[in-house]
Amino acid sequence: MRLDSGWGLTQEAPAADGEVWVELRGHGAALDDASAGLLTTAVALRNWHRRARYCARCGGVVRSRQFGWATECTRCGHEEYPRTDPAVICLVHDDVGVNGEQVLLARQPVWPPGRYSVLAGFVEAGESLERCVEREVAEEVGVAVRDVRYLGSQPWPFPRSIMLGFAARADAGAVPSPADGEIENACWMPRERVAAAFAGRDPDLLLPGGSSIAHLMLRAWAGADA
């Protein structure tokens, strides 16, 4: 197996007989941690160099510096470093016990039937991460959350994000109201059903797979006590 991630390497290095190119996003779970980290860094840098060819200050052509970790404008000398766009992803559970008995899941209209995940969105300029979690959940499903807690992060270089994982609590009786166009359906899902879906016993519920942080967050919650 050879990994591709929009690098264009399929043109630069065509696959030999019996080889196929696959994407980091869908197949990163096949790599060990060190290899996944190295490839993720390489993909992030490659994406940056492909998209930031001109100076943000004067529009001049930039050239690579510091072995690819920076660029310098050939006209004004301005230095740039790779940018990362923060996005929050939040597992919202109800307020029963410590970890809740139900999780709030939602699906986008473009997803395959039965696919659900937790909510996510980009951090806006000047916004704290906690406020972003509250705003995104309110905007997407109309539910007020509290007790926002940080869980962990995952670089997501598609093209240049980092996913910041949180958990938050909402009233068990809160009724989700999906945002028009953005969210097709949102609902509370009991822990037993999430666990059954991960165990392959619920073909009607498709949860995030692979090594995505959404998968790790949901799997940890499904295995926890309320």
> What distances in angstroms separate CA 215 from CA 12, 14, 54, 206, one per listed residue?
33, 32, 37, 11
Contact between 53 and Zn ion per CB under 5 A: no
Interface region with Zn ion, contact rule CB under 5 A, candidates 3-11, 50-58, 79-87, 105-113: 50-58
Closest CB 74 distance from Zn ion, rounded Å: 8
Do residues 178 and 185 touch, judged by C-beta distance below 8 A? yes
Contact between 58 and Zn ion per CB under 5 A: yes
By CB under 5 A, name the one of 78, 135, 215, 219 that touches Zn ion. 78
Nearer to Zn ion, 2 or 53 (CB): 53
Contact between 224 and Zn ion per CB under 5 A: no
Q: For residue 63, what are its two tokens?
A: 């050239």
Contact between 57 and Zn ion per CB under 5 A: yes
Nearer to Zn ion, 54 or 158 (CB): 54
Q: How far apart are CA 121 and CA 90, in angstroms?
A: 9
User: Could you tell me which residues come within 8 angstroms of residue 172 by beta carbon, excluding any fewer than 6 positions away?
Assistant: 94, 95, 96, 100, 101, 102, 188
Contact between 60 and Zn ion per CB under 5 A: yes
User: Could you tell me which residues come within 8 angstroms of residue 48 by beta carbon, excluding any fewer than 6 positions away?
Assistant: 82, 83, 159, 160
Q: Site size for Zn ion, by CB under 5 A?
A: 8
R_g of the chain, CA atoms, integer Å:
20
Nearer to Zn ion, 78 or 131 (CB): 78
Nearer to Zn ion, 63 or 146 (CB): 63
Q: How far apart are CA 226 and CA 219, in angstroms?
A: 14
Nearer to Zn ion, 73 or 90 (CB): 73
Closest CB 54 distance from Zn ion, rounded Å: 8
Binding mask 149-178 toward Zn ion (x if CB under 5 A, else -) reads ------------------------------
Q: Please state the three-class secondary structure of 157-221 as a single string.
A: CCCCEEEEEEEEEECCCCCCCCCCCCCCEEEEEEHHHHHHHHCCCCCCCECCCCCCHHHHHHHHH
By CB under 5 A, name the one of 76, 144, 224, 226 that touches Zn ion. 76
Do residues 96 and 226 touch, judged by C-beta distance below 8 A? yes
By CB under 5 A, name the one of 55, 106, 167, 186 that touches Zn ion. 55
Interacting positions 102-131 with Zn ion (CB under 5 A): none
Q: For residue 55, what are its two tokens?
A: 């100076």
Site residues for Zn ion per CB under 5 A: 55, 57-58, 60, 73, 75-76, 78
